[in-house]
């Protein structure tokens, strides 16, 4: 699936390069039409990329549509991940279409009976949502922020260098 998209993008780039090479050079017209032609090529290239992406999305939807669960309710947890622990903030139910079933979201988690709180933590822990996951998520997010910042700085540098 991704391979088809890459091949399609390669084909689009190849077509643009071949079009550039096959056109005769007229130096008089070249200077007056350079910007117009450049914008037309950019527009054609972007249109081709968008078409390829739309086709890929449609292919994925046609051949492996997202599964729609028909369970009537989903138990949803709102948690905070700290460097050494997971903290449950809220527990409520939602319909399979992700819309809140009822306006009442339930009591605050800290107001629940201690035994019920412990049981809900055990429920999550049995599914791998535990302190170890919190530690991983915390480190992941710290690295993600750093990587995104560096990528942003590179994009800004590149933009300024082009001007």
Query: Which of the pair, 55 or 148, is modelled with greater confidence?
Result: 148
Give me the mean pLDDT over the 132-157 stretch: 90
Strand partners, 76: 92
Pairing status of strand 74-82 against strand 85-94: antiparallel
Task: Give the CB-side neighbour count of residue 97, counting CA atoms within 13 A.
Answer: 2
pTM recorded for the entire structure: 0.46
pLDDT of residue 31: 56
3-state secondary structure of 20: helix
Residue 6, classed as helix, strand or coil, is helix
Angle formed by the axes of helices 2-22 and 27-63, nearest 10° = 160
Phi/psi region, residue 106 (left: phi>0; alpha: psi -120 to 50; beta: rest), is left
Query: Which residue did the predictor score with more confidence, 10 or 155?
Result: 155
**Higher per-residue confidence, 62 vs 113:** 113
DSSP string for 71-133: -S-EEEEEEEEETTEEEEEEEEEE-TTS-BSSS---S-GGGS-HHHHHHHHHHHHTTT-SHHH
């Amino acid at each position: 699936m991704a391979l088809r998209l890459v091949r399609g993008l390669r084909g689009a780039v190849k077509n643009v390069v071949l079009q550039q090479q096959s056109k005769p050079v007229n130096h008089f017209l070249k200077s007056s039409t350079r910007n117009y032609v450049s914008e037309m090529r950019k527009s054609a290239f972007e249109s081709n990329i968008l078409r390829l992406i739309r086709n890929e999305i449609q292919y994925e939807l046609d051949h492996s549509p997202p599964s729609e669960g028909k369970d009537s309710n989903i138990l949803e947890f709102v948690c905070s991940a700290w460097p050494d622990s997971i903290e449950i903030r809220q527990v409520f139910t939602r319909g399979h279409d992700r819309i809140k079933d009822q306006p009442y979201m339930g009591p605050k988690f800290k107001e629940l009976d201690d035994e019920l709180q412990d049981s809900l933590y055990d429920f999550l822990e049995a599914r791998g949502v535990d302190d170890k996951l919190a530690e991983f998520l915390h480190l992941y997010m710290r690295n993600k922020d750093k990587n995104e910042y560096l990528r942003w700085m590179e994009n800004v540098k590149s933009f300024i260098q082009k001007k």
